[in-house]
Structure 1
Amino acid sequence: MTILRTIGKTCGFLGYAFQYACVTHCTFEYVGDFVMCSGPSMEPTLETNNILVTEHITPRLQMLRRGDIVIARCPTNPKQNICKRVTALPGDKVKRNFPRKSQYVPVGHVWLEGDNSSNSADSRVYGPVPYGLVRSRVLCRVWPLDKVASLTE
């Protein structure tokens, strides 16, 4: 009887662990998660090793606004995530320095730029970014503790 009781308790524990794992996965995949920022493109707003809280709902509903900071898949390297600011939305006209011309952001795309324009590969290099590559919108910085701040406007 003790073996059956032990097996029953183990299966019960594994069942709860599986449920919690599923809830955690769904939360991080569809609601929000934590992201560590790296690279100089968003300085001085964000620095390397800042930890950010992000949400996934606004990009999925295509409700981003100018000024939002987002995490997106890099258009030139899909294994890499990028952290940039939305500077133009579908239908907006943007001026490019090289070549010197203007273009409109097409429907289903956003224009992303880093705050550190002299050290950022962004839409000025690879053009408008499809909404499908935008993973999340940054809500706040939670690390380092002395720089905790909301990053939404």
Structure 2
Amino acid sequence: MRAAKYIWQWRSIAKQAFTQTSIVAKFLCLLHVTNNYLCSSTLVYGPSMLPTLNISGDVLLVEHISHRLGKLGPGDVVLVRSPVDPRKIVTKRIVGMEGDRITFLLDPSSNDSCNIIVVPKGHVWIQGDNMYASSDSRHFGPVPYGLIQGKVFMRVWPPHSFGSLEQ
């Protein structure tokens, strides 16, 4: 009689633990899908996107749908896996899409090193807004479209800069 009571208690505890674990697992799956395929936040800092973004750091919201649907264009600020160091994600502005003719200066302080390139199929040309402190397509060339991680659409921190980055 007593053993049956203990077995019933353990079954009840096991059932409750399974239910709670199931809820946590579903929440983590939802969090994963949301963060990787819909929208996520990221901290961005450094001088390459001055004056658009702060050197000391901004928290941005990034959506991960537009680049998968091919809905990006010149002027969009994007997160890109660095072609130089794949462990890094960089924030840059799209300047040209495939087929666009881009004229750029290798050395912004000298006007005599002007180059022209046609962006190849499946690539984009990205540049930082601060051309004097940005390592971008002027240094490593066109970037494969597949390296784009998402499109920045809103700054949420610092509070005085809260708002859309859409043009």
Alignment TM-score > 0.5, same fold: yes
Q: Number of aligned pairs?
A: 153
Unaligned runs of 5+ in 1: none
Rounded to whole Å, the distance in 2 between the matches of 1:67 and 1:3 is: 61
1:121 aligns with 2:135: yes
Rounded to whole Å, the distance in 1 between the matches of 2:79 and 2:32 is: 18
1:28 aligns with 2:35: yes
Q: Which residue of 1 aligns with 2:75?
A: 67
Q: Which residue of 2 aligns with 1:90?
A: 98
1:42 aligns with 2:56: no
Q: Name the % identity.
A: 36
What amino acid maps onto 1:56 in structure 2?
A: H
Secondary structure, counterpart of 1:8 in structure 2:
helix
Following superposition, the deviation at residue 32 of structure 1 comes to: 1.3
Q: Tell me the TM-score normalised to structure 2 length.
A: 0.88
Rounded to whole Å, the distance in 1 between the matches of 2:37 and 2:93 is: 21
**Runs of 4+ in structure 1 displaced over 6 angstroms?**
none
Unaligned runs of 5+ in 2: 1-7, 107-112
Rounded to whole Å, the distance in 2 between the matches of 1:116 and 1:144 is: 20
Q: Which residue of 2 aligns with 1:131?
A: 145
Following superposition, the deviation at residue 38 of structure 1 comes to: 1.6
Following superposition, the deviation at residue 146 of structure 1 comes to: 1.5
Following superposition, the deviation at residue 2 of structure 1 comes to: 1.6
Following superposition, the deviation at residue 97 of structure 1 comes to: 2.2
Would you say the 8 A contact 1:62–1:131 is kept in 2?
no
Q: Tell me the TM-score normalised to structure 1 length.
A: 0.96
